[in-house]
Amino acid sequence: MEFQLKDNLLLGAAAAATQIEGGDQNNNWYDWYRQGYIKDDADPSVATEHWERWREDLALMREIGIQCYRMGVEWSRVEPADGFFDEKAIARYREEIQALRDAGIPVLLTLHHFSNPLWLEERGGFSVRDNITYYLRYVRKMVECLGDLVSEYVTINEPNVYAFNGYFEGTWPPGRKSFLEMSRVMTNMAAAHIEAYGLIRKTRLQMGFGDTRVGFANHLRVFAPKDQENPLHRFWASRVEQLFQGSLTRAMCMGRTAFPIGKHPSIVPGRYCDFLGVNYYTRSTVSGPADGVAEGRPVNDLGWEIYPEGIEAVCRKMYELVQRPIYITENGVCDNTDAFRARYIAEHLKVLCESGLPVERYYHWCFCDNWEWVEGNAARFGLVHVDYESQRRTVKRSGRFYQRVIEERGVSEALWREFCAYPTDGEET
10 Å Cβ neighbour count for 321? Answer: 16
Give the nearest distance from C-beta 205 to ligand BGC in angstroms.
29
Give the nearest distance from C-beta 213 to ligand BGC in angstroms.
19
Among residues 11, 107, 161, 415, the one that binds ligand BGC under rule CB under 6 A: 161
Burial profile 19-43: b = 16 or more Cβ within 10 angstroms, e = fewer = bbbbbbbbbbbbbbbeeebbeeebb
Beta bridge partners of 10: 361
Give the nearest distance from C-beta 19 to ligand BGC in angstroms.
6
Among residues 184, 372, 396, 415, the one that binds ligand BGC under rule CB under 6 A: 372
Give the nearest distance from C-beta 275 to ligand BGC in angstroms.
17
Give the nearest distance from C-beta 408 to ligand BGC in angstroms.
27
Give the nearest distance from C-beta 168 to ligand BGC in angstroms.
15
* Coil vs helix vs strand at 222: strand
Give the interface segment with ligand BGC, choosing from 142-150, 153-161, 186-194, 234-242 (CB under 6 A). 153-161
Q: How far apart are CA 383 and CA 368, in angstroms?
A: 6
10 Å Cβ neighbour count for 220? Answer: 26
Q: Does 380 bind ligand BGC (CB under 6 A)?
A: no
Per DSSP, the chain holds a count of helices (H) and strands (E) of: 15, 12
Among residues 74, 121, 158, 241, the one that binds ligand BGC under rule CB under 6 A: 158
Among residues 69, 168, 280, 365, the one that binds ligand BGC under rule CB under 6 A: 365
What secondary structure does DSSP assign to 354-384, as a single string? TS-S-EEEEEEE-SB----GGGTTSS---SE
Q: Kindly determine how many residues on this chain lie close enough to bind ligand BGC according to the rule CB under 6 A.
A: 11
Give the nearest distance from C-beta 61 to ligand BGC in angstroms.
18
Among residues 26, 131, 157, 284, the one that binds ligand BGC under rule CB under 6 A: 157
Give the nearest distance from C-beta 29 to ligand BGC in angstroms.
11
Q: What is the CA radius of gyration of the chain?
A: 20
**Could you tell me how far CA 106 lies from the centroid of its own chain?**
17
Give the nearest distance from C-beta 130 to ligand BGC in angstroms.
26
C-beta closer to ligand BGC: residue 58 or 161:
161
**CA dist 77 → 17, 18, 34, 93, 338 (Å):** 10, 10, 18, 11, 33
Give the interface segment with ligand BGC, choosing from 118-126, 145-153, 154-162, 265-273 (CB under 6 A). 154-162
Q: Does 330 bind ligand BGC (CB under 6 A)?
A: yes
Give the nearest distance from C-beta 373 to ligand BGC in angstroms.
6
Considering only residues 62 through 81, tell me which ones interact with ligand BGC, judged by CB under 6 A: none
C-beta closer to ligand BGC: residue 154 or 267:
154
Helices 179-206, 132-146: axis angle to 10 degrees equals: 30
Eight-state DSSP code of residue 9: P
Q: Which of 93, 95, 94, 104 is nearest to 69 (CA)?
A: 104
Among residues 77, 184, 193, 219, the one that binds ligand BGC under rule CB under 6 A: 219
C-beta closer to ligand BGC: residue 72 or 410:
72
Q: How far apart are CA 171 and CA 164, in angstroms?
A: 9
Beta bridge partners of 192: none
* DSSP E strand boundaries for 240-380: 276-286, 326-331, 359-365
Q: How far apart are CA 260 and CA 184, in angstroms?
A: 8
Burial profile 59-91: b = 16 or more Cβ within 10 angstroms, e = fewer = ebbeebebbbbbbbbbbbbbbbeeeebeeebbe
Give the interface segment with ligand BGC, choosing from 20-28, 95-103, 144-152, 156-164 (CB under 6 A). 156-164
Give the interface segment with ligand BGC, choosing from 36-44, 157-165, 221-229, 262-270 (CB under 6 A). 157-165
Q: Does 285 bind ligand BGC (CB under 6 A)?
A: no
Give the nearest distance from C-beta 288 to ligand BGC in angstroms.
23
Binding marks (x or -) toward ligand BGC, 14..43, rule CB under 6 A? --x--x------------------------
Residues within the interface to ligand BGC (CB under 6 A): 16, 19, 157-158, 161, 219, 279, 330, 365, 372, 381
